[in-house]
Structure 1
Amino acid sequence: MHILTSGKYPIHILVARIFTDHSFMGTGGDLRRAITALFPDNSLLHHHGAAGEVDYSLSQVRYLVLDGVPHLVGLGEGREVVFRIADKIFLLTIGQRRYKVTGIDFIEDGVHIGSNDLLSYISRTPWIALNQRNLAKFKQLKTEVDRRQLLERILIGNFLSLAKGLNVRLEARLQAKITNFKHRQVNTPVPLLGFKVQFVSNFLLPEFLGVGKMVSKGFGLMNIR
């Protein structure tokens, strides 16, 4: 494994799993709204920068819903925030639906990224790969090969952005070969394309850290096959 870092390594994350009296039917966005309503004065939960502006690139607290279980993922300063608020969450309200919290547990882990080994992945949650410019380009491409190559370049760019955001410098040249992909519109306030992909890469992607757009709301998670 060839990894260089100018910061602390491995990357430490804290995951709080929130168990409720019935399966949580909302999205990561719904979970974020429920949590920020409980703690409106905590700027980090809203992804606000030092000057108060919205900055989703920070994403130090992420909101995932996996198999009907809400998860809060904290990294950097977000770890302390998640730990501090977790035992103060007793009820989650999504519109007319209410979820009584029956228990919370924590997963604390030091995660690594980067690998020389080729790993096989499949999407766990939709990957929001395209901005407006790339979406127009994607639609203009006529062949699956050309679309696949565009997505592969974007995926590698996503990996590099994640590494940079975690203050990790990778020595090895990244590879990504998409073997299958499908897309559909995802349930977001603004209609977006979400991709389900299978691919092979030499990038080791942590279980709870997604890539692409809207990672703070649980998009772009991948499982090693």
Structure 2
Amino acid sequence: MKLKTLKLTLKSDRPVKEDAAKLRGFFATRFNEYVVAEAYPLKQGLKHEYALLHHHINVAEAHPLKQGLKHVDKLLYRYPRIQYKIIEGTAVVLGIEEGAEVLKEIYDKYDEIKLGDSVYTIVERGITLKEEEFGISSEILSYEFITPWIALSQNNHQRYLESKSDRGELLRRTLVGNILSASKGLDYVVLEEINLGIGRLREKKCKIKGTSFIGFIGKFIVNFVIPDYMGVGRSVSRGFGTIKRIKLCNS
């Protein structure tokens, strides 16, 4: 299938030292004035698509005990259409499908980004809009993780620690599952077997909302086309699991 992607690169006056979660927080705060009202889906002035920026919706629901509406923050349980990255000190935002359309609307509505206590002036914006393939390939393709891949849930974390001999297969199956999950979230039906091999992975300690996780940096091969800078695994909206295809030169 074809996916519309938009990669927004925000070059700042100095390298960004904060993590992608703070970049996500900047966009969530900057564009938080838009509300989704499920009770009044056609109400003028409300914009559902901006919820994609922070992967939550502020839903107006009828209050059971009081007259009027109450606002409830709800998580969007699907593959994130907007993903935030910090790559080599540069802020990068990837929009996929409708997420690409949102980024087209807002890419120039700010001249600086505030990440925690730091303020960065944007000196250059780069926009790359593409129609890219996603799905089963007749070729085996090589990829690398350019940000840590969060593979392990609380359930399989202990299994990973206890069994060194099964770690490789556990991670391989997990990555296949991550690709299947992303496919489902993007409405792509996988009709053929995913053949995947994992190379040597390097562990890296990561924190998400104050909780420690094991991340992995390394390479893998698979018969599946994945656009550059898309994420797989856990917390991809916060920049984890970002992949890039390794282009092989013909000798």
Q: TM-score, normalised by structure 2?
A: 0.80
CA 1:118/1:217 → structure 2, altered by over 3 Å: closer, same or farther? same
RMSD: 1.7
Distance in 2, Cα, partners of 1:15 & 1:45? 14
State the SS of the aligned residue for 1:220: coil
* 2:45 alignment partner in structure 1: none
Give the 4+ runs in structure 1 shifted more than 6 A: none
Written as runs of structure 1 = structure 2, the 5 A alignment for 1:142-153 is 142-143=164-165, 146-153=166-173
Aligned ranges 1:21-100 → 2 under 5 Å: 21-41=13-33, 42-49=50-57, 51=59, 52-55=73-76, 57-100=78-121
Hey, what does 2:41 align to over in structure 1?
none
Report the equivalent of 1:175. 195
More strand by share: 2
Aligned length: 215
Aligned equivalent of 1:115: 137
Other structure's SS at 1:53 match: strand
Q: In the alignment, is the contact (CA less than 8 A) between 1:10 and 1:110 conserved in 2?
A: yes
2: CA distance, partners of 1:72 / 1:35 = 10
Letter in 1 for 2:188: V
Alignment of 1:197-208 (within 5 A): 197-208=218-229
Kindly provide the amino acid, as one letter, of the partner of residue 151 in structure 1. Answer: L
Say which of 233, 237, 241 aligns to 1:220: 241
Tell which has more relative contact order, 1 or 2 (C-alpha 8 A, sep 6+). 1
- Equivalent pair of 1:34/1:93 in contact (CA under 8 Å): yes
**Residue 58 of structure 1: CA displacement?**
3.9
TM-score normalised by L of structure 1: 0.89
Superimposed CA distance per residue, residues 60-119 of structure 1 (whole angstroms, 9 cap, x where no aligned partner): 111111222111211232222211111112111122211011121211011112212112
Letter aligned with residue 239 of structure 2:
G
Larger Rg: 2
CA displacement at 1:194 relative to structure 2: 0.2
Distance in 2, Cα, partners of 1:157 & 1:50: 30
Query: Aligned partners of 2:219 and 2:230: how far apart in 1?
Result: 17
1:138 aligns with 2:160: yes
Amino acid at match of 1:96: D
Q: What amino acid does structure 1 have at the position aligned with 2:205?
A: Q
- Residue in structure 1 matched with residue 3 of structure 2 by the alignment: 11
| Local SS of the residue matching 1:172 | coil
Q: Partners in 2 of 1:48 and 1:35 — Cα distance?
A: 12
Structure 1 residue 49: Cα displacement:
4.6
Task: Extract unaligned runs of 5+ from structure 1.
Answer: 1-8
Would the alpha carbon gap of residues 155 and 191 (structure 1) be closer, same or farther in structure 2, given more than 3 Å must change?
same
In structure 2, how many angstroms separate the alpha carbons of the residues matched to 1:224 and 1:58? 20
Q: Indicate yes or no: 2:178 matched with 1:186.
A: no
Q: Is the 8 A contact 1:126 1:195 kept in 2?
A: yes
Q: Equivalent residue for 2:147?
A: 125
1:20 lines up with 2:12 in the alignment: yes
Contact 1:56–1:216, Cα closer than 8 Å, also in 2: no
For the residues of structure 2 that align with 1:177 and 1:60, how far apart are their CA atoms? 27
Unaligned runs of 5+ in 2: 34-49, 60-72, 247-251
